[in-house]
Chains A and B, each alone.
Chain A
């Protein structure tokens, strides 16, 4: 599904964000991605949703080397990846319903189906009464749930979530994790970047850990980690 081979990453001559990172995510796996602030979690996700290219090394997505994917093929590949951005990235003038419907509209889904499925999903994330609300009128946690709904509405093959529970209470966080697990059971590969240690402990899924720009620790189940020298890998 996803394979990193000796990936180095930095932005415009800045500090190295990722150093010699190698791992592979098997299809249908569920992982947490942990690490301190600035450890490179968001950048690692960004490489996966084709938001950037590595300085060196190879990133394979859906068995394709992303450096060799033609530009015209990229939108279709991105539509197979659902992303929950850390800053939500909702379109401010669109209602909750229209924000969530965007991936479906881009994919050309019939409006009748959109009107059926989107309210259903928004109800599932606890926003049934806010279909027409603009993001600015909603709390951070509600915006985050809209972002999650937008990421999962198209049933992506790969779901990447960057701190998806950072703005919600524990009850909602657990509910959202169950949503991700449901998707995972239907075949979606899930990778969740989070600071929330209690959440990681509560859900028994393997983790990838970034520290000092390196993938230093990993519990391996469904993931193959080629840790660099000195890095420890232990089975979960």
Chain B
């Protein structure tokens, strides 16, 4: 009984635009959601990888200073490592090999310069969990051991990265809210037009004893079905777009190496949260359309005697 449509809403031109509109809205919402989730994922990943680590940078000694100090790069490195390994709170300290350091800098400096420029020595430091470390005192002792040596706990970089990542996620959320609002307005418009077009039939149903929910069910079912079709199309197109983007990035990454932006993009994996967003957004859009249609009809019918 409730599955029937006595109002022939399917012939109503006022709702024909809904699937197309919902497809566009859900497409945008999915891209915004996945973009936001990816940005948050990067932040969480960086936070996880970098917390509990520090990088010590021993700059090269060049020119007259080098002659004056008569220190070799190896002596400076050994002095720093000795200090780090006896400092309470540090679990491990490993210098990066020259090749690893060069690989990190090559995308920015190019292979020619990397080979000729004096390179700093980078030491990867892992902290002991739960053991406090006086960073200021360590920085001072490092400066004494090898002048010019700096200690980077990544806090500033991470804070900036987190701020950017959260801004992207917030923008994605704003897009989803705006898209939802647009969907609600479109459904309200379509339903109001439909109520006007079918006013006579609705009055007949009303006068022969149809409860408001009987009439509202016809609108909500019809609108929900149209919205779901459009939303699924939008989600599928968005998934295809993301797959194409990742494929393009992977192709580009093969030329730029592991440190490039394309490599970063191609390394994104479609996680559980992304799948949930991909399924939840079209379903949510259809639900919003259904609930909005029902509410709009019930409000309009409340004016009948």
Contact = CB atoms under 8 A, between A and B. Distances in A.
Contacts of B210: 75, 102, 106
B20 to A, nearest CB: 25
Given A50-B305, A53-B305, A98-B6, A106 B214 contact: yes
Interface in B1-16: 1, 4, 6-8, 11
B302 A71 contact: yes
Is chain B's interface secondary structure helix, strand, loop, or mixed overall?
loop
B207 A51 contact: yes
A91 B305 contact: no
Contacts of B1: 105, 108-109, 111
A103 interface: yes
Interface residues of A, number: 30
Contact of A106 (B7, B200, B203, B205): B205
A49 B207 contact: yes
B201 interface: yes
Nearest to A72: B211
Contacts of B203: 89
A171 B208 CA distance: 28
A150 B208 contact: yes
Contacts of B305: 50-53, 74
A108 B3 CA distance: 12
B201 A91 contact: yes
A78 B210 CA distance: 8
Contacts of B200: 89
A126 B222 CA distance: 35
Interface in A84-128: 89-91, 93-94, 98, 102-103, 105-109, 111
A179 B1 CA distance: 28
A75 B206 CA distance: 7
A103 B11 contact: no
A236 B47 CA distance: 97
B137 interface: no
B282 to A, nearest CB: 31
17 contacts: A50-B305, A53-B305, A75-B210, A79-B208, A83-B208, A89-B200, A89-B207, A91-B7, A91-B201, A93-B11, A94-B6, A98-B6, A102-B205, A105-B6, A106-B205, A106-B208, A108-B1
Interface of B: 1, 4, 6-8, 11, 200-201, 203-205, 207-212, 214, 302, 305
Q: Which 8 A-B pairs have the closest CB atoms?
A: A79-B209, A78-B209, A75-B211, A93-B8, A106-B210, A89-B204, A75-B209, A105-B1
